Structure 1
Amino acid sequence: MTREALLERYRQLPLPTRRDEHWRFTDLSGFDPDAWEGTAPAARGPSGAASMLELDVAGVATLDEAGISLERAPDGIRFEPLTDDHPLLGSLVGADDKFSAHNAAVWQHGLLLHVPAGVEVERPLYLRVGNGAEGGALHWRVLVVAEPGSRFTLVEELASATGDVSGYANAAVEIVVREGAKVEYVNVQNLSQKTWLFASCHARVERDAELDWVAGGFGSANGKVRIQNDLAGPGATSRVTGAYFADGTQHLDYDTYQLHLAPSTTSDFAFKGALRDHATAVWRGMIRVEQGAQKTNAYQENRNLLLSRDANANSIPGLEILANDVRCTHGATLGQVDREQLFYLMARGLSRPEAERLIVRGFFQDVLDRVELEPVRTALGDALEARIPHA
């Protein structure tokens, strides 16, 4: 479809409401995508915002309202601006809903990462996305193609120039993992609590390939992040690890989908969140096993820790199984801080914030242990603890 046709489709699609099942717990009242300014060029201030991660990287790309720039790119791979004519663009994330259609119609800047067959990139590649134009909209795309037998890591970090920047961020991420390849994709967002964030993320994992996905959510005001992994070839494996912390009036919404299309595939989705003040979180997970996808092994869980009486979380797991020789399980829990643990720690001289930080670290430890990159694991743990006030 042409950009004009995509824009017309976007205009015809309705804004989701709470009458739509997937938006039942996320209220978009008062939000108008058209009210935000376009991606007008802006100063590269966001790139100077404090990073959560300290990484020894092989390549660096910076993307914001002004465009995309490459500070460093390794030889032997394509680590470059994404163009409209790439044959895989839109093959996984199309224009099926209001926000993916908006992105498809107006995105201007994106990153292509294409790693040839058999190539192993030892150090991570790093993409920093900065939201810095007050009242602006930032639409970008990421396309990752891992050819057979390749191995690499891409780290994408979203940040705002300051905590007061208001904006509308809309992302589309497509990942194709060919036969026998292994990809680790890390996405961490610490946008301002005045920014609306919407993201459509879709991966296809082929025969004997592996995708390890890490999602960290700390910022934004409201919105929805959708993550879908298609296990498309025998022996394909995907693992998604999510950790989030919300406070104030933040509202985080994760919508995950594990689609098993081939036999002998494995998926493992684990999301944990902690909530303070009046914050809310939504996690909706679906495992679907198609006919013929025998020997599927799939798991999903969502566990939330409430640090205040006014915080709230909603977990909606689901299964759609059309095969008869599978192992599919799910779990969801919601609970307050254990008072006995809190009393035990405070009785030994810790202040309440110190005790809560220790409990939060313990709550998240099992999902942090799933993160292979040690600097990312450390940064996520530190960021989670830092959200507990010192007094």
Structure 2
Amino acid sequence: MSTPSVNTSAEIPAGFGEAAFEAFLATRDEPAWVTESRRQAFQRYCELLETELDPEEWRRVDLRALRPDRFQLCAAQAEQSTAPETETLLTGQADFAGHVKHTDGQLISSEMSEELAAKGVIFGDLATVVREHGELIQPYFMTRAVDSQRDRFSAWHAAFWTGGTVLYVPRNVVVDAPLHSLITLQADKAADLSHTLVILEEGASATLLEETASVSDDLLGLHVGAVELILAKEARLRYVQLQNWNHKVWHIAHQAGRVENNGFLQWTVGGIGAKLAHIHQDVVLDGRGSEAEVNGVTFSTDNQIHSFYTQQSHNAAETRSDLLYKQVLRDQARSIWRGMIRVEKEGQQTNGYQRNDSLMLSPTCRADAIPGLEIEADDVRCTHGATAGRVDEEQIFYCMSRGMSEYEAMHMIVEGFFQTVFDRIPVEAVRETLNQAIIKKLGFGR
């Protein structure tokens, strides 16, 4: 089969119509199976544009101001120039065994220790790994975790994904030091559709810390992403995603983790930035004895909207899931959380828990929390809860009477509110990073 020529210098039209899609394909150097999957996804995307989004998930998220035709994909370059250094939340916080950096959907740099490479670990740019290890990636890529047929956003991503990070750890290989992935937006009105794929074989273990960041506070941006975390038997993964776009970026993503027998997934989400962020997050426990711990920390200010639609699916016996989200809001910000624990008939002796707590620092912010249960088994322990409330003025007065400023008192209260989540995070760099982000958020606009 002949390979079509690749025009890396062509400019892709703005928007995501047919002309933009064909121009985008002309810049890609990809295996035939990837091109075919893109074409199928684009056809599905066009069909889904005419259908209504699931009201259960989207009725509280206002997308009327989102105009895809304002944003543009960057064409792949034959040789990518070095992007300016970006000060990120994790800068200088830890020593990494490898890192991958993307800007505007294009690879900037990638490296990994020789020791890990000798053990068969693969860590790098998705577009490169697809070309070099397609037989390894194809069975996992959007086939087992994220469903490209689910809605217009998952199909949109599947048709136009631009790059992203792959981590593959072979059987029984333990990666002790964390790995780092950085996704940045540099150009005004740039679109990023990066994809993260983590595959841990039986008995493997790893930690991946991933960040998103904007180079400037003044840039409009769009991110339509996907995250797939696939764990085989007895595998252990710690995955952290710190979302810190500026307040002019739309951030929409489908994310899913699947865990086999006796595997363990710890998934930590930090939501700091974005104009509007909506995350569809699935945790699926497929094997007996599998476990998942999901931690969420968000801090919304100004007119930010942070929305999460979480599902914990128990498909096997003796599985355990534990989700804890803590959200702080200020100004006219809004948080939305819709959580569901679903237990199938096979999920006997399941232990499922979910909790969402919101702390409101102003009378004009709003928090919506809707937990839910769908249980088909008859021998389970599943609980859920949600709370929302204002900061106690007496607490602030007490702290100020002991010599603290109002700012210091508020920081102490907010840090204490988040502490129960911080205590669940074993990576010190992540705990310190989130704490520093809270300090910056509290000082915004002072």
TM-score (normalizing by structure 1) = 0.96
Per-residue deviation, 1:164: 1.4
CA deviations over 1:355-375 (Å, ceiling 9, x no partner): 111100111111111111011
| C-alpha distance in 2 between matches for 1:235 and 1:122 | 24
Per-residue deviation, 1:123: 0.3
Name 1:104's counterpart in structure 2: 158
Name 2:123's counterpart in structure 1: 79
From 52, 59, 62, give the equivalent of 2:101.
62
Say if 2:412 is the partner of 1:361: no
| C-alpha distance in 2 between matches for 1:122 and 1:189 | 24
State the one-letter code of the partner of 1:70.
S
2:339–2:354: 8 Å Cα contact kept in structure 1? yes
Name 1:24's counterpart in structure 2: 59
CA deviations over 1:84-132 (Å, ceiling 9, x no partner): 7422101111221111111100112122111001111110011001111
Q: Secondary structure at the match of 1:314?
A: strand
Question: Cα 1:293–1:317, aligned 2, differ >3 Å: closer, same or farther?
Answer: same
Per-residue deviation, 1:187: 0.3
Name 2:10's counterpart in structure 1: none
Aligned length: 391
The 10-residue stretch of structure 1 (242-251 or 94-103) with the greater mean CA deviation from structure 2: 94-103
2:105–2:192: 8 Å Cα contact kept in structure 1? no
Name 1:246's counterpart in structure 2: 300
Name 2:21's counterpart in structure 1: none
Per-residue deviation, 1:382: 1.8
Name 1:90's counterpart in structure 2: 142
| C-alpha distance in 1 between matches for 2:312 and 2:291 | 11
The 10-residue stretch of structure 1 (374-383 or 212-221) with the greater mean CA deviation from structure 2: 374-383
| C-alpha distance in 1 between matches for 2:281 and 2:220 | 24
Per-residue deviation, 1:46: 6.2
| C-alpha distance in 1 between matches for 2:194 and 2:387 | 34
Say if 2:322 is the partner of 1:282: no
Structure 2 unmatched ranges of 5 or more: 1-35
| C-alpha distance in 1 between matches for 2:413 and 2:340 | 29
State the one-letter code of the partner of 1:33.
P
CA deviations over 1:307-341 (Å, ceiling 9, x no partner): 01111110010100000100000110000001121
State the one-letter code of the partner of 1:9.
R
Per-residue deviation, 1:165: 1.4
2:112–2:123: 8 Å Cα contact kept in structure 1? no
The 10-residue stretch of structure 1 (195-204 or 13-22) with the greater mean CA deviation from structure 2: 13-22
Q: Secondary structure at the match of 1:387?
A: helix
1:26–1:223: 8 Å Cα contact kept in structure 2? no
1:153–1:183: 8 Å Cα contact kept in structure 2? yes
Question: Cα 1:269–1:80, aligned 2, differ >3 Å: closer, same or farther?
Answer: same
| C-alpha distance in 1 between matches for 2:227 and 2:212 | 13
| C-alpha distance in 2 between matches for 1:57 and 1:342 | 40
Per-residue deviation, 1:41: 5.2
Name 1:191's counterpart in structure 2: 245
TM-score (normalizing by structure 2) = 0.84
| C-alpha distance in 2 between matches for 1:334 and 1:108 | 39
Q: Secondary structure at the match of 1:123?
A: coil
Question: Cα 1:20–1:247, aligned 2, differ >3 Å: closer, same or farther?
Answer: same
Q: Secondary structure at the match of 2:372?
A: strand
Name 2:87's counterpart in structure 1: 50
CA deviations over 1:228-261 (Å, ceiling 9, x no partner): 1110000000000000101011001011100000
Q: Identify the structure with the greater strand proportion.
A: 1
2:105–2:164: 8 Å Cα contact kept in structure 1? no
* Matched ranges for 1:207-246 at <5 A: 207-246=261-300
State the one-letter code of the partner of 2:146.
V
| C-alpha distance in 2 between matches for 1:188 and 1:152 | 17
Q: Secondary structure at the match of 1:385?
A: helix
State the one-letter code of the partner of 2:123.
F
1:16–1:23: 8 Å Cα contact kept in structure 2? no
Q: Identify the structure with the greater helix proportion.
A: 2
| C-alpha distance in 2 between matches for 1:377 and 1:305 | 19
State the one-letter code of the partner of 2:377.
A
* Matched ranges for 1:1-391 at <5 A: 2-14=37-49, 20-40=55-75, 48-53=85-90, 54-65=93-104, 67-68=106-107, 69-73=109-113, 74-75=116-117, 76=119, 77-82=121-126, 83=130, 85=134, 86-91=138-143, 92-95=145-148, 96-389=150-443, 391=446
Question: Cα 1:307–1:162, aligned 2, differ >3 Å: closer, same or farther?
Answer: same
| C-alpha distance in 2 between matches for 1:281 and 1:60 | 32
2:105–2:191: 8 Å Cα contact kept in structure 1? no
Identity rate, percent: 38
1:240–1:268: 8 Å Cα contact kept in structure 2? yes
2:101–2:182: 8 Å Cα contact kept in structure 1? yes
Q: Secondary structure at the match of 2:155?
A: helix
